[in-house]
Chains A and B, each alone.
Chain A
Amino acid sequence: MKQSFFKITKNIPLNSNVYKMCLKGDTSFITAPGQFVNIKLDGKYLRRPISVCDCEDGLLTIIYKVVGGGTEQMKDLKEGQMLDILTGLGNGYNTDVSGNNPLLIGGGVGVPPLYMLAKELIAQGKKVSVILGFNTESEVFYEQEFKNLGCSVAIVTADGSYGTKGFVTAKMDVDYSYFYTCGPEPMLKAVYKQSKTQGQMSFEERMGCGFGACMGCSCKTIAGYKRICKDGPVMLKEEILWED
């Protein structure tokens, strides 16, 4: 983990309530796709954990959805403003075990961390398929960006207004060597049930510190109690214990 200041170079809407922010700073502690950063905002006590969408040579990209007071404040931040950020948080995805044709499944703001993952897998020479799920056409983002990386991309929308109608599981009937996923918990559960291979799933929880000190985001797994912020957010499929 590293605490440092980042300068906002871009903060633009991708659709009505999803924003993309680019920041310049020391990204050397971001070592794996699927990690997150924890952002201090003026007037907010707790930092805001946001997944890393991309990271390259001191340029950090995050994508966030406006869901409450913190993200509401983030969307109004301007280019040139500085942010106090903890980087290098969380375990991130392990790409070594992906096999040759991994499947990446993202839902809503679970999509962003899969971008850096796809980039890394493709750089390793793997054939990457992506299923991105959204509620409706106006919420779709990053389809072209994934295509530009060289992924084959399937889009699903719950209302059928774009791509295939339904949920991400509707497009999972393909061949893949391994899967990686990030999204809302009902989606993760559905993917878990339908998946035919081993895989890695990224979880979300309200966090206190984000670096393993407060036990605010613990969960039970087959491998014992884990902290989503420090031992996760990525868990192996075989260690997940669903609590209904």
Chain B
Amino acid sequence: MDQFTLNLLFVGASFALYIGIAIWARAGSTSEFYAAGRGVHPVTNGMATAADWMSAASFISMAGLIAFTGYDNSSFLMGWTGGYVLLALLLAPYLRKFGKFTVSEFIGDRFYSSTARMVAVICLLVASITYVIGQMQGVGIAFGRFLEIDAFWGLLIGSCVVFAYAVFGGMKGVTYTQVAQYCVLITAYTIPAVFISLQLTGNPIPALGLFGSTESGEPLLVKLNQIVTDLGFAEYTAAHGSTINMVLFTLSLMIGTAGLPHVIMRFFTVPRVSDARWSAGWTLVFIALLYLTAPAVGAMARLNISELMWPNGTSGEAVSVEQIETDPEYAWMATWQKTGLLGWEDKNGDGKIQYYNDQNADLQAKAAENGWEGNELTNFNRDILVLANPEIASLPGWVIGLVAAGGLAAALSTAAGLLLAISSAVSHDLLKGQLTPNMSEKSELLAARVSMAAAIVVAVLLGLNPPGFAAQTVALAFGLAAASIFPALMMGIFSTRINNVGAVAGMLAGLVVTLLYIFLHKGWFFIPDTNTFTDADPLLGPIKSTSFGAIGAAVNFAVAYVVSGMTKETPQEIKDLVESVRIPRGAGVAADGH
């Protein structure tokens, strides 16, 4: 059986499973559509939240970004897990006690203002749509690879599948489907990593293999440092970027994690307040299984790629074009070339492909000596690394098929969760909550589905010119959530002083400055060449657009505090509401706000 058929088989079988579950658990009422009747066990909920959370960014993109940067991209690892501490300690139990369906409902009630609710909906939509763009990038790459077509067509086909898929279920269908997706994606991520770790270090646990030793007794990371520096790249384990930027970037991802509506919504679906606390812990357990493996995947893939390009060692001859075209060990390069995400070119016509850093002075000298005319591995999209990884390590065909299915599971589960958050924001908060309160349940469901379709179209249009690799696009979404939603939620619970005007001013200020900073660096609405600054030379010192969310959040807190101090005090009944949210006793089943 050839690889294409095998991929098709694995992807097809996993899809049949998800769709089967979605049909079995179809949502009948609006309350089931949004919150699954709150009958979900913390461990089940944790697993579903983990699947919801670990998207194309975590699965497809993150290890590749770590592989090519090394230590400096540890921010992704700390940021996307550390946010759960904030969520568990500062938000989840209180929002569950409050007992409504959506994040914006809490903001609307706590800040006794329909304007606050509207602003929250807008913040949520901006963050979620940016997030969906990143997911669609991942979907495009995964479909492009497994159908062996250009990533552009992969994106179009993928978006149709995502839509068809998200529209069928509500949260209930999504919850159980996501449990299945979690199982598929974690298996798909772990199995190749175990194989590769065994090959390189003899240790079956990749997380330990990363700090283990290779056959020669040399530690893996020492060997990797040696090879990459030989090729003129930055040392893998050393810090190269600005410390301030790394701290702010990590913080943005953490705060953003705790401000993302589709993750927070999950904690509304557990039966009790104490379950909300446990649930956050279980979620992180399931996430950590992937996140502890990811740095190993990155480092080992980087080593494998470097060794493939220099089969005779870095002081020997580079791999020949002929070998790339005929040796089955290099077959993955031809397959990935079809997606337009991998490319090489024999610039000096010596029949070999020299892969090195042509910006490095030492290597330029070496290149001049040997007649190299620049790096010949001209294009290596970071986002292909995880999907290509089993092929790079020459693992069996079924592993490659499994990884394709896992990548799609990751992208689909998150896209579906986000679309659900977007549709509930539009139909439940905006239409039913504000514009047309007398809407029937049936038309609310219809509106939910129409807004899902609209969100996909917008995401695909903007996703054609993505502002970065998938994980970077997603990082921007986190910055936006960090700057707008999280501070409002936290102040709503921990301060009785912040009032309606303060909260609205804070959210708007946080959202606007962050959006502005992102657009100035990434182009207006991500349209190429409309940017004034670049992340290589940012407006504010070392602070890149992906790290600005933490500053945006600080602006939000400060503005809310100052404005609240100048305006009328919070009324007594709101202070009582805050008091009641703070203690678990009396948490009933959550109810619809209308």
Is the A/B pair a real complex?
A: no
